[in-house]
């Protein structure tokens, strides 16, 4: 099975965790194919060669592609057919995808090929492995995929590198692909029958982007609970709404999880104890409904993780090879609809996480009735404090409203009507990444306000979890004693969230959140 052994990920074509994808894509863990998977790859290749020698009519091997499926291609032109497919389909445009996203797609492509239903030679899979292990990454434009038949254009750009064509990165340096291969001692390959089609047909680019986004989203979701608890303390809100008796009457798993998190984070808080008899009955919804809203986001993320995990071990090539039956079957596994819908669900859920966060920040900056200075400025009037951080959060939330529009509801027919319904899954995945950036920024703005509000509550001690979060935040951002540009502070906190250090500091104090 695909497992991490130290810094190595082993792929067997049947098992692959999202964490394994991230390990290779982001942390450059080594990757290799299990022996039993190599046997499956070789069996599928023998089936392709046997059928090809018999003169069988096979889509994309002895015929053209898409609307050209009924055009026969002579055996003497089989190699040219595959080469022309890759070159003609490398029609992407726009800024290059980040290197980790391309590496994620490469890992997933290896997993698909290693399942033994694509029919490529062992040498092809090995070259993709070598690119990953030696730090050569194809340059892949970010735009051009409609998500069916899979990610044709971006995968074609990935395949160009195997041929020594197009551009690639050696490490992080961009250069012609042939030069990048030469630098690490690799040679381009020539494509044999079916190999070009097997390399460009699939959902690996959208799934690679989505896999990395899912893990990043899960870390942000945990951080949102922590930051929300800090804001509640600073606002002198009530923690009674986190009572298990309330939340078990609406038994959504995420709601129960978040309510428990808030109880753990605020345990032992002198700040919460200080206003038990203040007479206020209810807080605004952005505080009172944290378990409901954050919990719904958690439940959505649980669903999308299942989708992305299934897609990571799926074979999305076409046609598919079944060596045990000596057969080729044509289907629609390349269609990106499962990934597209999941990306749309996740980005919509995450947009709500930013929306409720911005509302909490707004309340912190306008809580004079709860003993906080306006805009949390040490000297309101001569100082503006964190006034503009709420503007920034509002701008990010507004931007998310457009990005959260579901891309999967759109479809534009392609290939002269043969490919008449497409998923737009890669667009959904790319917009999910943009939403994540905005959510992260909004949460950092709230965290900046929560830290300042905590300073106003001293010398009262915060809860066990919120105290650990405060220490982590103040380790990178000093207290606000006079006006200074908030932008560097927001970016420092962004790194704290992105690295996972904030949540790790809290979990060391209260356990997993």
- Report pLDDT for 62: 78
Residue 73 pLDDT exceeds 70: yes
Q: In sequence order, what DSSP letters do the residues of 365-399 get, joined into one string?
A: TT-GGGTPPGGG-TTBTTB-TTHHHHHHHHHHHHH
> Matching CATH topology for 3-202 and 210-510?
no
- Report pLDDT for 59: 78
pLDDT per residue as tens digits for the range 360-375: 999 999 999 999 999 9
Whether the CA torsion 78, 79, 83, 86 is positive or negative: it is: positive
In whole angstroms, give the CA distance from residue 113 to residue 197: 12
User: Is the model more confident about 65 or about 447?
Assistant: 447
| Average pLDDT of the chain to the nearest whole number | 95
Q: Which CATH number fits domain 3-202: 2.60.110.10, 1.20.1250.20, 2.160.20.10, 1.10.275.10?
A: 1.10.275.10
- Report pLDDT for 52: 86
In whole angstroms, give the CA distance from residue 103 to residue 478: 37
Please state which of the ranges 409-423, 464-478, 496-510 shows the lowest mean pLDDT: 409-423
Q: How confident is the model at residue 1 (pLDDT cuts 50, 70, 90)?
A: very low
- Report pLDDT for 7: 80
Could you confirm whether 59 is annotated as catalytic? yes
pLDDT per residue as tens digits for the range 421-445: 999 999 999 999 999 999 999 999 9
Give which of 415, 387, 403 is closest to 480, Cα–Cα: 387
- Report pLDDT for 101: 98
Q: How confident is the model at residue 279 (pLDDT cuts 50, 70, 90)?
A: low
Residue 483 pLDDT exceeds 80: yes
59, 169, 303, 362: the catalytic one is 59
Q: Which CATH number fits domain 210-510: 1.20.200.10, 1.10.287.130, 3.60.10.10, 3.30.70.20?
A: 1.20.200.10
pLDDT per residue as tens digits for the range 113-169: 999 999 999 999 999 999 999 999 999 999 999 999 889 999 999 999 999 999 999
In whole angstroms, give the CA distance from residue 319 to residue 26: 32
Domain ranges of the chain: 3-202, 210-510
Q: How confident is the model at residue 4 (pLDDT cuts 50, 70, 90)?
A: very low
- Report pLDDT for 281: 67
Over residues 244-248, mean pLDDT: 97
In whole angstroms, give the CA distance from residue 40 to residue 502: 44
Residues pairing with 327 in the sheet: 322
């Amino acid at each position: 099975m695909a497992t991490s052994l130290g810094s190595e990920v082993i792929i067997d074509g049947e098992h692959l965790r999202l964490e394994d994808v991230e390990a290779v894509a982001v942390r450059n863990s080594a990757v290799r194919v299990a022996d039993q998977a190599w046997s499956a790859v070789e069996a599928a290749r023998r089936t392709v060669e046997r059928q090809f020698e018999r003169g069988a009519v096979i889509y994309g091997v002895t015929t053209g592609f898409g609307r050209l499926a009924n055009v026969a291609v002579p055996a003497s032109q089989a190699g040219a057919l595959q080469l022309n497919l890759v070159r003609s389909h490398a029609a992407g445009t726009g800024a290059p995808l980040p290197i980790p996203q391309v590496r994620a797609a490469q890992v997933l492509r290896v997993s698909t090929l290693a399942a033994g239903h694509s029919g490529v030679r062992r040498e092809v899979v090995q070259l993709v492995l070598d690119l990953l292990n030696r730090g050569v990454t194809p340059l892949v434009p970010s735009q051009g995929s409609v998500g069916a038949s899979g990610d044709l254009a971006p995968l074609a750009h990935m395949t160009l590198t195997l041929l020594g064509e197009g551009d690639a990165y050696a490490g992080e340096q961009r250069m012609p692909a042939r030069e990048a291969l030469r630098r690490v001692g690799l040679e381009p390959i020539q494509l044999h029958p079916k190999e070009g089609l097997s390399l460009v047909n699939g959902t690996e680019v959208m799934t690679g982007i989505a896999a990395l986004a899912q893990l990043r989203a899960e870390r942000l979701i945990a951080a949102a609970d922590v930051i929300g608890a800090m804001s509640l303390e600073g606002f002198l809100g009530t923690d009674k709404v986190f009572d298990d008796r309330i939340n078990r009457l609406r038994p959504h798993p995420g709601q129960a999880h978040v309510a428990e998190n808030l109880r753990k984070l605020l345990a032992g808080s002198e700040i919460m104890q200080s206003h038990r008899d203040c007479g206020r009955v209810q807080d605004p919804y952005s505080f009172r409904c944290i378990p409901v809203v954050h919990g719904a986001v958690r439940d959505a993320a649980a669903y999308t993780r299942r989708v992305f995990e299934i897609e990571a071990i799926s074979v999305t090539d076409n046609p598919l090879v079944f060596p045990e039956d000596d057969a080729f079957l044509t289907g629609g596994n390349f269609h990106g609809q499962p990934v597209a819908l999941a990306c749309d669900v996740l980005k919509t859920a995450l947009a709500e996480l930013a929306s409720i966060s911005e509302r909490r920040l707004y309340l912190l900056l306008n809580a004079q009735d709860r003993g906080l200075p306006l805009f949390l400025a040490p000297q309101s009037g001569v100082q503006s404090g964190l006034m503009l951080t709420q503007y920034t959060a509002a701008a990010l939330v507004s931007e998310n409203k457009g990005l959260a529009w579901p891309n999967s509801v759109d479809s534009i027919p392609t290939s002269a009507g043969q490919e008449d319904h497409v998923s737009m899954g890669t667009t959904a995945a790319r917009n999910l990444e943009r939403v994540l950036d905005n959510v992260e920024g909004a949460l950092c703005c709230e965290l900046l306000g929560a830290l300042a509000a905590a300073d106003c509550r001293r010398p009262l001690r915060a809860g066990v979890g919120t105290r650990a979060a405060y220490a982590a935040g103040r380790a990178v951002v000093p207290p606000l004693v006079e006006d200074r540009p908030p932008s560097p502070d927001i970016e420092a906190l962004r790194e704290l969230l992105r690295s996972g250090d904030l949540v790790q500091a809290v979990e060391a104090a209260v356990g997993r959140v």
